A and B are shown apart, each in its own frame.
Chain A
Amino acid sequence: NAGVTQTPKFRVLKTGQSMTLLCAQDMNHEYMYWYRQDPGMGLRLIHYSVGEGTTAKGEVPDGYNVSRLKKQNFLLGLESAAPSQTSVYFCASSSTDRTSSYEQYFGPGTRLTVT
């Protein structure tokens, strides 16, 4: 049981390049999330998904796209990277089961630098 995994762990991009971050969970969770964390700002929600085939915008969605083609995977795409997207990206998942207190489980993060 690996929990939540993210690939890659580190990446350096040049302005204008594109990339996809992959998140996978093996806990059969319905909800999945993408956050970014910047110094002094806490985690901010980029996009989230309440189930396979559905996605929704979070607090800071501009410049990102997502897809949830399979329940266990949630992909975050950067179409044209900008230096403002330099950040640590965390994926998370949570159960819809109230007995779990809606605990979110996080992946180890992806450290992205855009030059």
Chain B
Amino acid sequence: RKEVEQDPGPFNVPEGATVAFNCTYSNSASQSFFWYRQDCRKEPKLLMSVYSSGNEDGRFTAQLNRASQYISLLIRDSKLSDSATYLCVVNGATDSWGKFQFGAGTQVVVTP
């Protein structure tokens, strides 16, 4: 079983709609959680960290559910520019906080 799992999608979303997707992690000792965005053939870039209390950054909301071991990302009022692959990243899933575990990504396609 992979340590970090994501629904690969694609999630086809009309412009202006809301889309949400989850990421599950296997190690309950995981300490830090992140969402990264990766555009086609480009490097991943940090979208937002995920805090225990949940956090919001503009149209993006991230939540952490430690009991069920998943994190979620919700995108409101989707823009065409939101089309990308969203990577779930977990830190501290092994013996060192410096080692990050990446999910394979969820593809989001926003259509006009």
A interface, CB within 8 angstroms of B = 31, 33, 35, 40-45, 48, 50, 58, 88, 90, 94, 101-104, 106-109
Task: Determine whether the beta carbon of A45 is less than 8 Å from that of B99.
Answer: yes
Task: Determine whether the beta carbon of A104 is less than 8 Å from that of B46.
Answer: yes
Query: Please, how many angstroms separate the alpha-carbon atoms of A50 and B42 in the complex?
Result: 25
| Chain A residue at minimum C-beta to C-beta distance from B44 | A106
- Count of B interface residues, CB-CB < 8 Å: 22
Task: Determine whether the beta carbon of A102 is less than 8 Å from that of B99.
Answer: no
Query: Please, how many angstroms separate the alpha-carbon atoms of A33 and B89 in the complex?
Result: 14
Query: Please, how many angstroms separate the alpha-carbon atoms of A88 and B43 in the complex?
Result: 10
Contact residues in A for B42 (Cβ distance below 8 Å): 108-109
B interface, CB within 8 angstroms of A = 4, 8, 32, 34, 41-46, 49, 87, 89, 91, 97-100, 102-105
Interface centre among A88, A101, A103 (most CB of B within 10 A): A101
Interface of A (DSSP majority class): strand
Task: Determine whether the beta carbon of B46 is less than 8 Å from that of A90.
Answer: no
Extra contacts, 8 of them, besides A31-B98, A90-B44, A106-B44 (Cβ < 8 A), are A42-B87, A42-B104, A42-B105, A43-B102, A44-B102, A48-B98, A94-B98, A103-B34
Query: Please, how many angstroms separate the alpha-carbon atoms of A45 and B102 in the complex?
Result: 9
CB distance from A57 to the nearest CB of B (A): 10
Task: Determine whether the beta carbon of A45 is less than 8 Å from that of B100.
Answer: yes
CB distance from B57 to the nearest CB of A (A): 12
| Chain B residue at minimum C-beta to C-beta distance from A30 | B98
| Chain A residue at minimum C-beta to C-beta distance from B32 | A102
